[in-house]
Amino acid sequence: MIKTTTSLLGTLDPQSRDRLLTTAKEVSFGAGDRIFSEGQRADRFWIIRTGSIVLDLHVPGRRSATIETLGSGDLVGWSWLFPPYQWHLGAEAQSPVRALEFDATVIRALCEADPVLGRAVARRVAEIIGHRLVSARTRLLDLYGPYGSGPGS
Amino acid sequence: MTEVPVPYQVVRRSQETTDTTTLVVEPVARALPPFRPGQFAMIYAFGVGEIPVSVSGILDHRHRLAHTVRAVGAVSAAVCAAAEGQELGLRGPFGTGWELERAAGGDVLVVAGGIGLAPLRPLIRAALAGAGRYRRLNLLAGARTPDDLLYADELRCLADAAPAHVAVTVDRPGHGWLGSVGMVTQLLNRADFAPGETTAFVCGPEAMIRATARDLRHRGVPADRIRVSLERNMRCATGHCGHCQLGPLLLCRDGPVAGYDRVAPLLAVREL
Ligand SMILES: Cc1cc2nc3c(=O)[nH]c(=O)nc-3n(C[C@H](O)[C@H](O)[C@H](O)COP(=O)(O)OP(=O)(O)OC[C@H]3O[C@@H](n4cnc5c(N)ncnc54)[C@H](O)[C@@H]3O)c2cc1C
């Protein structure tokens, strides 16, 4: 069951959801499998059914930095929706993962052909990006750090 | 409730993280009236000063209390440094409690950030002790790094014994961390609760409380069922000095725990 408000399918109307789902295929990844790397072409995206995926950023001379973990119901990847269709983070399976895989070209074509569906998808993806931006900004505050919300006045 | 500190003795101390210590204290002679989860004591480090600290454990044995204190300044550092056998002065109990009974028959959702897990610990214990009165118990905790996580062993036992869904996330993972990375609100996606029948108990830095409460509202948890603890600084703890006033509320008396329906408009207030 996908029950989240931050998932792509969660709040799409049933018709739009079914149209996306008919194009999806079930895939699985083993723990440690690299799903995509920074700079590669963003030609697919996923919705996690089970397991978790880490998003990471390559830091020269050091181990990749883990930015965020995604889990059941979460959308993996949104760079497929906007030119230049290139991943700006990497993704790796943290545990065995089962996911629905969508072909970006197919979904973009569906969205072009059906503006109602296109708007619904773009809106959901924008909401998810907004949500992640808020989380990232809140984490920037280093809330649990010694000077939680920055130096006092 | 007392205005004069009552002597308590440190009987056990455990270092939780580099800057946070749990002290178990027991009355030297007279005990304070019983504490409820969510309430706090004013702890006086003799010769240094007095600070508000929530109870992180309420023990039956010898009226003992546990307090988990993070050293952030002079007084909290002095309290953290109290050795076994040393005396501290306690006043209390102060403030409103979590009021776990509000969740009876529904799901219990506990969301903690950083030191915010301390005041929630007695609530979690009470929920476990009262299993059967509540449906599902979800415990979501965020910390800065894996090393900053409080009560790590207890959380592990809780997760293993599986009476509760326990999920932990950190902002900065170290090498070898196989858990989740990100804000505590992301764990809500994976928790198992029916929003309309859930009572949430939230404690942590205020920005985290705001973000969590907004997210929960969005998911359909009623505002009056989101109980938050606002630990803005306070002095007298008896509702006299006005130091902790937030709009119409005096947090030492009307808080620290209050319903989000009451405090949401006040959380935008920058300074007291
Ligand atoms: C109801 C209540 C319950 C609390 N429970 C706990 C607890 O269980 N464990 C615990 O470690 N702490 C708790 N606190 C916070 C604790 O009281 C403060 O950390 C302490 O008063 C700091 O005093 P100090 O003299 O050590 O540091 P100060 O020199 O007074 O302050 C050091 C730094 O901490 C900041 N600070 C002080 N108080 C607060 C606060 N309340 N919120 C955010 N930042 C603050 C100051 O702005 C300053 O930057 C609680 C506070 C309240 C109001």
Question: What residues of B are in contact with residue A5 (Cβ under 8 Å)?
Answer: 218-219
Rounded CA separation B78/B71 (Å)? 8
**Ligand 1 pocket, residue B230 CB under 6 Å:** no
| Domain at B100-267, CATH from 1.20.1530.20, 3.40.50.80, 3.30.70.270, 3.90.1150.10 | 3.40.50.80
Mean pLDDT score of chain B, rounded to an integer? 92
Cβ–Cβ under 8 Å, residues B259 and B221? no
Instruction: Give Cα separations from B162 to B137, B142, B265 (angstroms).
Output: 10, 19, 37
Nearest Cβ partner for B181 among A6, A69, A138: A69
**ipTM for the complex shown:** 0.82
Question: What residues of A are in contact with residue B138 (Cβ under 8 Å)?
Answer: none
- What's the pLDDT tens digit per position in B155-205? 999 888 777 899 999 999 988 888 999 999 999 988 999 999 999 999 999
Q: Please report the pLDDT score of residue B270 as a whole number.
A: 57
Is A85's pLDDT higher than 90? yes
Instruction: Kindly report which listed range (A61-75, B15-29, B132-146) carries the lowest average pLDDT score.
Output: A61-75
Which segments of A1-153 does DSSP mark as H helices, in order? 14-21, 104-113, 115-140
Residue B98 corresponds to which tokens in the numbers above?
């979590």
- Residues of CATH 2.40.30.10 domain(s) within chain B? 6-94
Is B106's pLDDT higher than 60? yes
Sheet holding B226-229, edge to edge: B180-181, B165-170, B137-143, B107-113, B198-203, B226-229, B257-259
Residue B151 has a CB neighbour count (10 Å cut-off) of: 19
Question: What residues of B are in contact with residue A6 (Cβ under 8 Å)?
Answer: 186, 189
Is B272's pLDDT higher than 60? no
What mean pLDDT comes out for the span A66-81? Answer: 94
Helix H, strand E, coil C: the string for chain B is CCCCCEEEEEEEEEECCCCEEEEEEEECCCCCCCCCCCCEEEEEECCCEEEEEECCEECCHHHCEEEEEECCCHHHHHHHCCCCCCEEEEEEEECECCCHHHHCCCEEEEEEEHHHHHHHHHHHHHHHHCCCCCCCEEEEEEECCHHHCCCHHHHHHHHHHCCCEEEEEECCCCCCCCCEECCHHHHHHHCCCCHHHEEEEEECCHHHHHHHHHHHHHHCCCHHHEEEECCCCCCCCCCCCCCCEECCEEHHHHCEEEEHHHHHHHHHCCCC
Q: Please report the pLDDT score of residue B269 as a whole number.
A: 58
Helix (H, G, I), strand (E, B) or coil at A51: coil
B236 is in an annotated binding site: yes
Q: Please report the pLDDT score of residue B87 as a whole number.
A: 98
Cβ–Cβ under 8 Å, residues B8 and B26? yes
Instruction: Kindly report which listed range (A41-55, B74-88, B224-238) carries the lowest average pLDDT score.
Output: B224-238
For residues B246 and B197, the model is more confident at B197
pTM, rounded to two decimals: 0.91
What mean pLDDT comes out for the span B25-30? Answer: 97
Cβ within 8 Å, pair B207-A143: yes
Residue A117 corresponds to which tokens in the numbers above?
């569906």
CATH architecture for segment(s) B6-94: Beta Barrel (2.40)
For residue B233, the CA-to-ligand 1 centroid distance in Å is 6
- Residues of CATH 3.40.50.80 domain(s) within chain B? 100-267
Instruction: Kindly report which listed range (A5-14, B195-204, B230-239, B252-261) carries the lowest average pLDDT score.
Output: A5-14
For residue B271, the CA-to-ligand 1 centroid distance in Å is 15
For chain B, the maximum distance between any two Cα atoms, rounded to a whole number of angstroms, is 50
Rounded CA separation B235/B224 (Å)? 28
Rounded CA separation A9/A11 (Å)? 6
Q: Please report the pLDDT score of residue B159 as a whole number.
A: 85
Please name each of the domains of chain A with its CATH number: 9-143 (2.60.120.10)
- What's the pLDDT tens digit per position in B69-100? 999 999 999 999 999 999 999 999 999 999 99
- Nearest residue (by CA) to ligand 1, atom 25, is B75
Nearest Cβ partner for B181 among A6, A54, A134: A54
Residue A79 corresponds to which tokens in the numbers above?
């760079």
